[in-house]
Amino acid sequence: MPFSRISRNLRGAFNGCRCYLSIRDHNHRFLLSQTPIDSTQQVMRSLIFSKGIPAFYSSRYQIHHQSSSLVEDELDPFSLVADELLHIGNKLREMVVAEVPKLASAAEYFFKMGVEGKRFRPTVLLLMSTALNLPIPPVLPPMELGGATRNDLRSRQQRIAEITEMIHVASLLHDDVLDDAVTRRGRGSLNFVMGNKLAVLAGDFLLSRACVTLASLKNTEVVSLLAKVVEHLVTGEVMQMTTTSDQRCSMEYYMEKTYYKTASLISNSCKAIAILAGQTTEVAVLAFEYGKNLVCEFVDLRFIGLAFQLIDDVLDFTGTSASLGKGSLSDIQHGIVTAPILFAMEEFPQLRTIVEEGFEKTENVNIALDYLGKSRGIQKTRELAVKHATLAAEAIDSLPESDDEDVRKSRKALVELTQIVITRTK
């Protein structure tokens, strides 16, 4: 297999993207460059995104943005809510340790100080809480706010962030069991370290705890919304586990699975934040759209990263395909049939046979990567990411105007999170 050709093709595809993309008529432009890392890039690099969200921290693909409205007033979205994140982190830890001490070593595994990641989801939800700190419409039925004062409201919105994190970690624990994963967030996965049983039970515990916390909000609409999310996570996992060869080649199926497995949680949680604040349906839908498109953007970026990673893995080996270990092949099988390959298939229909055959045969991996290199698959995926970023930012821009400084700052930070383009610094 001509590895040099893969390399050349892909680098070609990559270089083809070194230009400004101006598909938005807002102030946000996307620059693909190899310029030095700026402060947002630093922030994003330090993010340890988990499954479904790009693992930038361990990736070689750095992030850079340039947005005229933000350059002069750079915001670190994470530092804006740092204190609250700390508070939520402490609450999650306390909850696990205090209620079922024996499960502490298992469930605390994910909430331990220093290894819990940057809390991407809580950050988005807390920023959204402030961003929607609008005057509450007077027609709001009193029940839904439960007579909440502003402080009460914030603590209820914080609970949404906690619930989201618990559901997320519960699903990771069970997914790792289902995938026989051996690592997670740079260390041994819980199932690998403590066994499948404890991982299943810890997941069940977090899920049950999330249900109890959710019920304590006493808002039937929010309960329905997040109960549906739990079902979506399972549905997405089932779709993944039972994909037919036809479905593997379907962009529609891929998009649907991505929504269920990854985007539903954050988009519906964003919507829940709006509902708790007593906002209108229109505002709730904008919050939902922001969450959905932000996550879809990150998934796209993750899969671009994954495509490059696969190429690198192949290149790192000395030319013998056989030296790709079982683990790598399994990653490829899980990861390869994503947006870049699906786009490549549109250009090269003969790739379909390879994808349908699967990647048990190592030569199929090489052939698929070769086609990927020749195609516009990676570029089209990048364009999709940009489109998702644009839609997410537009959702924020469409919110009712506010003169409140905190509201404006939080909205800027949410837009900041969308201003991400990947580039290859290496």
350 lies in the site for a copy of itself, by CB under 8 A? no
Q: Which of 43, 88, 230, 272 binds a copy of itself (CB under 8 A)?
A: 230
227 lies in the site for a copy of itself, by CB under 8 A? yes
Express the helix, strand and coil content of the chain in percent, nearest 5 each: 70, 5, 25
Q: How many angstroms from the chain centroid is the CA of residue 125?
A: 13
The radius of gyration of the chain from alpha carbons, rounded to an integer in Å, stands at 22
Stretch 73-112: interaction string toward a copy of itself, x if CB under 8 A: ---------------------------x-xx---------
Residue spans of beta strands (DSSP E) within 255-342:
none
CB of 289 to a copy of itself, least distance (A): 23
Stretch 248-267: interaction string toward a copy of itself, x if CB under 8 A: --------------------
Provide φ and ψ at 213, rounded to 5°.
-65, -40
Nearest CA among 234, 213, 80, 102 for reference residue 171: 234
238 lies in the site for a copy of itself, by CB under 8 A? yes
Stretch of 83-91, 226-234, 335-343, 400-408 lying at the interface with a copy of itself (CB under 8 A): 226-234
CB of 236 to a copy of itself, least distance (A): 11
160 lies in the site for a copy of itself, by CB under 8 A? no
228 lies in the site for a copy of itself, by CB under 8 A? yes
37 lies in the site for a copy of itself, by CB under 8 A? no
Q: Are 62 and 423 in contact (CB under 8 A)?
A: yes
Q: Which of 93, 159, 185, 209 binds a copy of itself (CB under 8 A)?
A: 209
Beta pairing class for 61-64 and 28-31: unpaired
Cα gap 137→2, rounded to integer Å: 64
How big is the site for a copy of itself, counted in residues (CB under 8 A)?
A: 38
148 lies in the site for a copy of itself, by CB under 8 A? no
Q: Is the dihedral of CA 58, 61, 62, 63 positive or negative?
A: negative
Q: Which of 1, 136, 234, 315 binds a copy of itself (CB under 8 A)?
A: 234
Q: Is the dihedral of CA 257, 391, 305, 124 positive or negative?
A: negative
Three-class DSSP labels, 92-151 = HHHHHHHHCHHHHHHHHHHCCCCCCCCCHHHHHHHHHHHHCCCCCCCCCCHHHHCCCCHH
* Sites of contact with a copy of itself (CB under 8 A): 100, 102-103, 143, 174, 177-178, 196-197, 200-201, 204-205, 207-209, 211-212, 214-216, 218-220, 223-224, 227-228, 230-231, 233-235, 237-239, 241-242
